[in-house]
Amino acid sequence: MKNVFALLLCAFVFSACGNPGQGSSGNSFSDIQISGLLPASSQTTTNTIPGFSWDSVTYADYYELQIAGSSDALETADKITCSSNSYTPSNSLSINSNHYWRVRAVKPEGETTQWSDTFILSIESFIPMVNLTGGQFSMGNSWDTEDKFTASELYVHDVIVSDFSISETEITWAQWKEVYDWAIENGYSFANPGQAGNSGISEGDTEDEPVVNINWRDAMTWCNAASEYQNLPPAYLYDSSVIRDSRDSNETACDNTEFNLSSKGYRLPTEAEWEYAARGGNNDTDDSPYAGSSTLNDVAWYLDNSSDDTQPVGAKQPNELGLYDMSGNVWEWCWDWFEEDYYEISDLNDPTGPSAGTYRIFRGGCWKGYAVTCHISSRSRTNPYRIYDAVGFRPVLSSE
């Protein structure tokens, strides 16, 4: 037994010595396969998009890097030329998705090494998000036309939304502050600092309660800040400039901003996206009028059970998608302007609301509202400069 072991050890040592490492003399350039790739394969990172690096190769003139959303797409992906053995992506990688990547070295005369092994990098949002598969649904009050909050929800109409992801919870005070404090240090200005819950930290509300007392412009501008915080391109521009100021003095930019669904940055959900998510997306198994249950107390903080107080997010049952407090706790700002009869003229595919207006929509009811306000279809609205202690938001990301 001892002899067998010794023999195996010899064989291993011989093998190791007989295969010189990459770049060593005796191994032709075209046989080399680069190793030492970082981030390590299947690594998940949050919050920041990391740089890529790999072992350098002797005689390499430059390196070619490919990045794609799948291993199939990698075959035809653009080759990024890197003059050294590292690469720092800038605003080009989506988060909440996988990135397949590999690298090879190139000699001055064009000879290449083998492609490295393919590594997979997953970048997650610092905000826990749920991915939704898009689909078609009937938008509006499809349950009980007598039990309605406003008349405008009664025109039930078909809508198709594309894939997107949405925050599991309302943005908490802790999440708001993390981005807000960074933003203030990095050139942003807000009309309002926001508050933890309806009373604030000093009055006993906690940092896992939703941020409130922020207006629509603050929420939109915070989405841009969150994007830049995570090295994503901001979604909201005006006159080709990123909006970084939600103060009244910047109202023209804030109220005339546009976005497109291909933007990779954080943004407010459209009303259609919000309602599709609240219903349970393509997994709407219960068709209940509240998000996740027909029994409001199971899923929502509202007038009858909130003790007249905002509550920590995620304490009630989630809906079919794992989304919390879509009904109740705080109302949630959406992208759309309000127009009384918009549902009657809404686009079928990815409607984004009227092109202009006086009021922005918020959805889902709140801690001090009657049950009817917590209906999935209930709609409310106010001017984009007003704040309430019962209105917060949850952001979305478009899918690729």
In angstroms, what is the C-alpha Rg of the chain? 26
Q: Shortest approach of Ca ion to residue 187 CB, angstroms?
A: 31
3-state secondary structure of 212: strand
* Segment lying near Ca ion (by CB under 5 A), choices 72-80, 147-155, 265-273, 306-314: 306-314
Closer to Ca ion by CB, 205 or 255: give it. Answer: 205
Residue 176 is inside which H or E element, if any?
helix 173-185
Residue with the two structure tokens 């007989």: 18
**Residue 106 C-alpha from the chain's centroid:** 37
Size of the site for Ca ion (CB under 5 A): 11
Closer to Ca ion by CB, 89 or 392: give it. Answer: 392
Residue 309 is a binding residue for Ca ion (CB under 5 A): yes
Residue 284 is a binding residue for Ca ion (CB under 5 A): yes
Residue 280 is a binding residue for Ca ion (CB under 5 A): yes
The amino acid sitting at 74 is L
Contact 123, 96 (CB under 8 A): yes
Q: Which of 89, 197, 281, 369 binds Ca ion (CB under 5 A)?
A: 197
Q: Give the C-alpha separation, 199 to 189, whole Å.
A: 23
* Segment lying near Ca ion (by CB under 5 A), choices 16-24, 219-227, 305-313, 378-386: 305-313
Q: Shortest approach of Ca ion to residue 298 CB, angstroms?
A: 12
In the DSSP assignment, the letter for residue 131 is: E
Contact 304, 371 (CB under 8 A): yes
Q: Which of 22, 96, 246, 329 binds Ca ion (CB under 5 A)?
A: 329
Q: Shortest approach of Ca ion to residue 363 CB, angstroms?
A: 8
Contacts of 254 (CB under 8 A, 6+ apart): 217, 220, 221, 238, 243, 245, 246, 384
Q: Shortest approach of Ca ion to residue 311 CB, angstroms?
A: 6
Closer to Ca ion by CB, 93 or 300: give it. Answer: 300
Contact 250, 201 (CB under 8 A): no
Residues 200-239 that bind Ca ion (CB under 5 A): 205
* Segment lying near Ca ion (by CB under 5 A), choices 52-60, 63-71, 177-185, 356-364: 356-364
Closer to Ca ion by CB, 279 or 360: give it. Answer: 279
Q: Shortest approach of Ca ion to residue 230 CB, angstroms?
A: 23
Q: Shortest approach of Ca ion to residue 323 CB, angstroms?
A: 9
Residue 7 is inside which H or E element, if any?
helix 2-18
Residue 281 is a binding residue for Ca ion (CB under 5 A): no
Residue 105 is inside which H or E element, if any?
strand 97-106
Contact 362, 326 (CB under 8 A): no
Q: Shortest approach of Ca ion to residue 364 CB, angstroms?
A: 4
Residue 255 is a binding residue for Ca ion (CB under 5 A): no
Residue 209 Cα distances to 187, 192, 305, angstroms: 27, 17, 16
Contact 258, 240 (CB under 8 A): no
Contacts to Ca ion by CB under 5 A: 197, 205, 279-280, 284, 286, 309-310, 325, 329, 364
